[in-house]
Each structure stands twice: as structure tokens, then as C-alpha cells.
Chain A
Amino acid sequence: MDQRDKPELSQPQQPHLLGKQPEESDQLGRQRREKRERVARNEFSRLRNLARASSFHPTGHQGRQELGRAACLARASTASLGRFQPRLPRESPLPLPRSAGSGKKKRRFAPLLGDLAAERGRQLELVRTLAKPPPLDVARATNKQLRQEDAEVASTSRAKGRKRSERGKRARGRGTPQQRRRGQQKQQRPAGGKRRKR
């Protein structure tokens, strides 16, 4: 408790506070006390969270996995990196897998002068699969599709042509869809070779 806290004044000495609770008389002191409690509570939770996250226990108790990891590390922290370290009474005789401590595995390649005949065989297989022509020839497929579409349009327009001639001039003037498309294509082609006067 610091010096700034004022003792609570009894009611008769503060006639303007008649009807209210006596604790409310010392607002500043109350605020200071509450702040101190909040700070202490925060500090406690912070330390508790820290302890949880870092698996540090102030009394020294550690879980089974933590102890195992610590034992591994201690074993490897010798001059020979744990290779000639005598084993503990109940420790497994097999060395722990290398990936126990580290996350990444070392990338291994084929031997430099391995079985050359086998390597050749594998590469020949690969050559055979790559040299095959693609199963779908895109140009031929698209041309075929376009020809089919043109044929369909031509057959439908021939059927519709008789009905259209009955309608009148306007229908005849527009022409068949094929003729219309050809007209469009003619316009779209760039003027290659011939120079246009600007």
C-alpha cells in the first residue's frame, strides 16, 4: 500500500455524500488499487502462458517427450557426436532416426558410375514416349470441326431458303449465313502486300 491512499472518511464528515456507499468516497485510491490488481493479474497470466509455450516448468518437472529429446541431445553433444557413447541401462540399442531432430532430409542422387546399361535402358524408354506424335492433332481436329459446322449450316440454310424466298426482299438481300461469314472474313484479312494510300 502506498502513501497516496487516503483512509476512508466516515460518513458524517462528508455530508455531500449522504445516501451513497462509503467505499465510493475514495475514488482515486480505488482506481489505483484496481490498476495494481489488473497489472498483477496480467503479469501472472503472461508468465503462465510463457511457461506453457516454452514447456518450462519452474519446479523442474518435464514431460516424457521433452526428457527424451534432452537425452538425445545430450548424447550427441560429445566430441564424437555420440558415436562411442555407452548406452544407458534401458535405452534402445538402435540409434535414433536422423530425422528425429532435423526437419529436412538430405537429397540423394544416383551413383556417378552406376549401372550404365540400365540407365541407357531407362533413357531409351523415355525417348520412345517423347518421340511419339501427340494423340490429338489440334489443327486437323479444328479443321474437321469447322468443316462439320459449315456442312450443318449449309444444310439448314438450304431448308430455310425456300421459306425465306416467300418472305420478301429483305431476307434475300442478307444472304445465307455462309455468305455472310465469308463477307466478314474478307473484311478481317489484313492488307498484306498491297500498300494502302493514307
Chain B
Amino acid sequence: MRPLTEEETRVMFEKLARYIGENMQLLVDRPDGSYCFRLHKDRVYYVSERLLKLATSVPGDRLVSLGTCFGKFTKTGKFRLHVTALDYLAPYAKYKVWVKPGTEQSFLYGNHVLKSGLGRITENTAQYQGVVVYSMADVPLGFGVAAKSTQDCRKVDPMAIVVFHQADVGDRVPVVVTAGPQGGEGQKAASLER
């Protein structure tokens, strides 16, 4: 486990800024506690200081996860945002897309959003802008990239893709075994959630 280098921080923040823009400062500098980003086995975890100090007592090869996993760095150094970051992207998202009830299921199965399934879209969305996808009941479903700007969305035909799917809450996430009250002797792995 280690903090991110300057280069890695820049790459990750660029990715996050596509979705939440300058609201990222609310993640970095929180009024209710000291939170930081730490890298463990190529994955970036957003973790509070208290939890980080607890995690230092867990050996590195036994530590599975801590705090919230935002994403991971690929072998070529690119940052891939995971759906587990949605809890932090959704409240601060700048550009949102609402999908109709029928398209929710399709999106959760990993398909792109077509014009026919588009309910609402934030005004002034640029093309290839990062967007957070909501259901009509304002439940965050995942995030994606706008394939067309808002103006183009009005003109395009109903079968055209308007949002490229990136991650949704239907994704399979590895199940984490949390340390039980019996103690750590029999446990193979330890994870600290939230």
C-alpha cells in the first residue's frame, strides 16, 4: 500500500474530472473527516485516515480491500473507473442522463443507451462528456460517456446510441470476506469496509 505518485494522481483526477469537474475538491477536502487515496495492488482506494491507520497493521499480501475502491490502474498506466465509485460520483455529477423504465434493464445488462430509451439529459452536455446515468426515480444506475451532445440528441434517429455504457450497478463485483468477531487466526484475508 502506498500513496499515489504525482503522475498517477494526475491521471486519476483527469478521469474523475470528466464526471464531476471541480466538485472533486469536495472529495479531497472533506469537512467531516480526513480522507485520502491510497494505492494497493494497482487499485485506488478512497479511505479515511482512521481506517488507513488500522489497515497498516494488516500485512500487505493479506489485505484485500479498504475503504471504497474507486478504480484501478491498468498495466499501461491508464485509470479505469469502477462502479464502486458511483456513491461518490452521483451526488457531485455535473452532467446527468435519465433513462426510461424500459431501458433500465437493458443498461444494467451492459448495453448502451439508445435515443429511444433516453428520458432526460442535462442541457449543454458536450459530446464524449462523462455522464452519470439515473433512472426516472433519480436512482443512480451507473455512468457512461455521452455519444452525442444535447443538441445532436434532439436531431438523431431513435436507434442511435446516445450514451456509451461504462459501468452500471449490475456489474459483478468480487465478494469480500469481512473479518468476523471470532478473530483473525483462521481468516485468510482481511478487509476493512468504510
Interface on A for B, CB 8 Å cutoff? 109-114, 116, 119-120, 122-124, 126-128, 130-131, 192-193
Contacts and interface: CB of A to CB of B under 8 A. Distances in A.
Interface in B155-181: 156-157
A112 B38 CA distance: 8
A4 B49 CA distance: 92
Contact of B25 (A109, A113, A124): A124
A111 B56 CA distance: 12
Contact of A127 (B17, B36, B38, B156): B17
Interface string B36-62: 101000000000010011001000000
Interface residues of B, number: 25
Given A110-B3, A120-B36, A128-B22, 16 more contacts: A112-B52, A113-B53, A114-B3, A116-B34, A123-B28, A124-B25, A124-B28, A126-B9, A127-B13, A127-B22, A127-B24, A127-B28, A128-B25, A131-B17, A131-B22, A131-B24
Contact of A124 (B29, B34, B38, B53): B29
Nearest to B49: A116
Contacts of B38: 112
Contacts, number: 58
A107 to B, nearest CB: 9
B147 to A, nearest CB: 16
Interface of B: 1-3, 5-6, 9-10, 13-14, 17, 21-22, 24-25, 28-29, 34, 36, 38, 49, 52-53, 56, 156-157
B2 A109 contact: yes
- Binding site secondary structure of chain A: helix
A116 B29 CA distance: 11
Contact of B13 (A120, A126, A192): A126
A109 B3 contact: yes
Contacts of A122: 6, 9
A124 B30 CA distance: 11
A67 to B, nearest CB: 41
Nearest to B21: A131
Most chain A CB within a 10 A radius of its CB, from B6, B25, B34, B52: B25
A97 to B, nearest CB: 24
Contacts of B56: 112-113
Nearest to B3: A110
A131 B10 CA distance: 12
Given A109-B2, A112-B2, A130-B13, A120 B53 contact: no
Contacts of A110: 2-3, 5
Contacts of A116: 34, 36, 49
Nearest to B158: A193
Contacts of B13: 123, 126-127, 130
A142 B172 CA distance: 44
A111 B53 CA distance: 13
A193 B154 CA distance: 13
Closest 9 CB pairs of A and B: A131-B22, A109-B2, A123-B28, A127-B24, A130-B17, A110-B3, A127-B25, A131-B21, A130-B13
B102 to A, nearest CB: 23
